Structure 1
Amino acid sequence: MSIPVLAVAGHLGAGKTTLLNHLLRNSSGARIGALVNDFGAVNIDAMLVAGQVDAMASLSNGCICCVTDDGEVAEMLGKLAAVKPRLDLIVVEASGVAEPPALARTIMAVDDKRFHYAGLVLVVDATAPADLEHGVRVADLVVLNKASAAGDLVAVTAQVRALHPAVPLLPTDFATIDPRLLIDPAPRPPRAQMSFDELLHEYHHHDHDHPAYQSVEFRADSTLNPRQFMALLRDRPQGLYRAKGFVDFGPGHRYVLQLVGGSVRFERQRRAGTELVFIGTDIDTTALRSALDACLTEPADEAAILGVLKYVV
């Protein structure tokens, strides 16, 4: 199974390393690898996470998006993907000078079936939001860090919304976001397949106190219109960040869906019926449910499935 690669970007001092360390300490046993990318001769960020991460590679005295040889990036990520036992997530923490669009393009350019790009989290210092335009436009999740110390959090939020109205936005302090926004809990010992209610329980019960997010469940016995469903994923309601579960487009086209930010993946499976969980912040649940209902009522033509097939792995 392909390992998701999550990019974390933001200006110097915004809280990227704090977020990574928080994720490492609160990942419910999930195994996380990190590619730490510090700008300077001494890789301080790598030192700060080395004692907690399950596997790590580092690129010092440079910026990952300035590496001209994609093979070097592929090699570093490949080493992490080859770690045994298998990692559940790889986090690429960019230097503060890395531009988010370049970082995303660099990871997406690597062609390796062992891992895949799984979105970009932009950490913003809410007390001094600088040069938001480039980062916010490509972000899959915006973390407004140091929110309680911000002089005008409403104004900062409005700046982000003006640049990217639909992006999930999470105000917090000390980058204490709930890790389950970014990664699933570690697999349990083999047992019977988890029921859908147990899957939901994983998201509603958590020992740590983090800023709230939503989870919206959807079930259907009839098949979905693939064209309508892909339109929903493309033009998703504001605040929707993740989706996962089973999608049934009809015999021969039943899949497991994994959506994280801008990354959409379908894997074939035989299970009939649709059972999905949608996760995010301030989701317009009315718009989401209306769009899902439209997937059930609109009849599908034979060519409708083509929009899904290019995302099947």
Structure 2
Amino acid sequence: MSTPVVVLAGFLGAGKTTVLNQLLRSAADVRLGVVVNDFGAVGIDALLVAGWADSAVSLENGCLCCSTDDGSVDELLARLTAPRRGPGLDAVVVEASGVAEPSAMVRRVLTTTVPGVRYGGLVVAVDAVEFEATRLRHPQLDDHVAMADVVLLTKTDLVPAEEAARLAAVCRGLNAWAPVVPAAKGQLDPRLLFETPPARQRQLALGEVVHDPGDPGTHVHSMYDAVEFRSEAPLDPRRFVAFLERRPSGVFRVKGFVRFAVEGSGQRYLLQTVGAAVRFERGAWPPGSDRATELVLVGAGLDADALRRDLRDCVHDGEPLRDEMAMMGVLRSTEGV
């Protein structure tokens, strides 16, 4: 399974480092590789104690998007994801410089030649306190929001609720597909960005180093809902792709395994979405498995009954489909195709 590389961008002061620190605090059982511009503000001591010093890479010249085409980006990702003893990284987070251009950074990740890594989405942090002032200073903010896979509205605890709602509406007007996630005090559930595996047996978990029982960030997962769906019958690929394209804005992530009702497509499709980004990976079904579709939808304010009803509408009854074009929507988002 490939390792997602998530780009975390935002202008100076938007709260990117705070978000990254909260991810490190709350993702106790996730092995994160991090690329940061300045270790000083990040909990690097916790990384060192947890035994992951070789999974934190500093950018001496500050900006990843400004590096030359000399393979340096590939070198960074190769160092982070190099084979090592025990399980590898679950995800890599690249915290961009406050002057970095997100589109250039995304292109560098998309064009990497490092095997076993994939683009995991662009997350743009937007300061709720300085939103209008930032737009005046940096008109390109609107473009950054428009290209984001997830928009983080930071510092919402410092503005009135109605103002936070207004700013969220502005962001949705700029980007109708990406979820706009409030991130008060930088709190963000890692499940919204990448897979969080079951707890593993290992020497020391990062969360055991920095865990603070009184820190509300350690319970950030309680801010979100999870809806599970299972179907023994296969899904119609066209209907399912249409569901993904029109899913409610409150659905931040969809993940799981899918079986499609198309003749000759007997493979298992691993689905991972981050905001507007949709990615399938093909693979074989494990011997003896039920070959059932199993999905988890993560978000806020979810209507579980409506989501399950829409997913049931994607179930195909009858003989397998023989239309060779039925899978085109899936294949466009399938890794390696």
When normalised by structure 1's length, the TM-score is: 0.83
Matched with 1:101 is: 103
**1:252, 1:141 → 2: CA distance?**
32
Percent identity of paired positions between Structure 1 and Structure 2 = 42
Is the CA contact 1:23–1:179 (under 8 Å) kept in the aligned structure 2? Answer: yes
Map residues 58-137 of structure 1 onto 2, 5 A cutoff. 58-69=58-69, 71-82=71-82, 84=84, 85=86, 86-129=88-131, 130-131=134-135, 132-137=141-146
User: What CA distance in whole angstroms lies between the structure 1 residues aligned with 2:83 and 2:93?
Assistant: 14
Q: Considering only aligned residues, what root-mean-square deviation do their CA atoms show, in Å? A: 2.5
**What's 1:253 paired with?**
267
Question: Which residue does 1:223 correspond to in 2?
Answer: 234
Q: Deviations over 1:233-253 (max 9, x none)?
A: 234332322212221114613
Secondary structure of 1:215's counterpart equals strand
Give SS of 2:72's match. Answer: helix
Per-residue CA deviation, residues 123-156 of structure 1 (Å, 9 max, x unaligned), is: 1110011233112111122211111212522321
Aligned to 1:29: 29
Q: Which residue number in structure 1 is paired with residue 209 of structure 2?
A: none
Aligned-partner Cα distance in 2 for 1:158–1:273: 38
Would you say the 8 A contact 1:241–1:279 is kept in 2? yes
Give aligned pairs, total: 291
Query: What's the counterpart of residue 141 of structure 1?
Result: 150
Match of 1:174, SS? helix
Corresponding residue to 1:278 among 268, 288, 297: 297
1:308 aligns to 2:330 (yes or no): yes
1:194-213 → structure 2 map (5 Å cutoff) = 208-209=219-220, 212-213=223-224
Rounded Cα–Cα distance in structure 2 between residues aligned with 1:282 and 1:100: 29
1:269 equivalent among 259, 284, 289:
284
Cα drift, residue 291 of structure 1: 3.9
- In the alignment, which residue of structure 1 is the partner of 2:173? 162
Range that drifts further, 292-301 or 79-88: 292-301
Structure 1: runs of 5 or more not aligned: 38-44, 191-205
Q: Which amino acid aligns with 2:195?
A: D
Shift of 1:269: 2.8
Asked if 2 retains the 8 angstrom alpha-carbon contact of 1:148 and 1:173, the reply is yes
Shift in Å at residue 172 of structure 1? 2.9
Structure with the larger RCO, 1 or 2 (CA within 8 Å, 6+ apart): 2
Offset of residue 64 of structure 1: 1.2
- The whole-number CA distance in structure 2 between the counterparts of 1:65 and 1:253 is 37
Which deviates further from its counterpart, 145-154 or 120-129? 145-154
Kindly indicate whether the alpha-carbon contact (under 8 Å) linking 2:91 and 2:194 is maintained by their aligned counterparts in 1: yes
Tell me how far apart the structure 2 counterparts of residues 48 and 78 of structure 1 sit (CA, whole Å): 24
Change (3 A) 1:170 1:308: closer
Residue number among 150, 159, 175 corresponding to 1:150 in the alignment: 159
* C-alpha distance in 1 between matches for 2:322 and 2:227: 28
TM-score (norm 2): 0.78
Deviation at 1:79, TM superposition (A): 0.6
Work out the CA distance in 2 between the residues paired with 1:312 and 1:101: 21
Distance 1:67 1:28 in 2: 32
Deviations 1:246-285 (A, max 9, x none): 2111461332322233140223232412111111234465
Q: CA deviation at 1:83?
A: 5.6
Residue equivalent to 1:195? none
Change (3 A) 1:278 1:209: closer
Are 1:70 and 1:109, in contact at CA under 8 Å, matched by a contact in 2?
no
Partner of 2:213: none
Alpha-carbon distance change, 127 to 277 in structure 1, aligned in 2, over 3 angstroms: same
Report Cα offsets for 1:206-226 as digits up to 9, x if no partner: 961457222222121211111
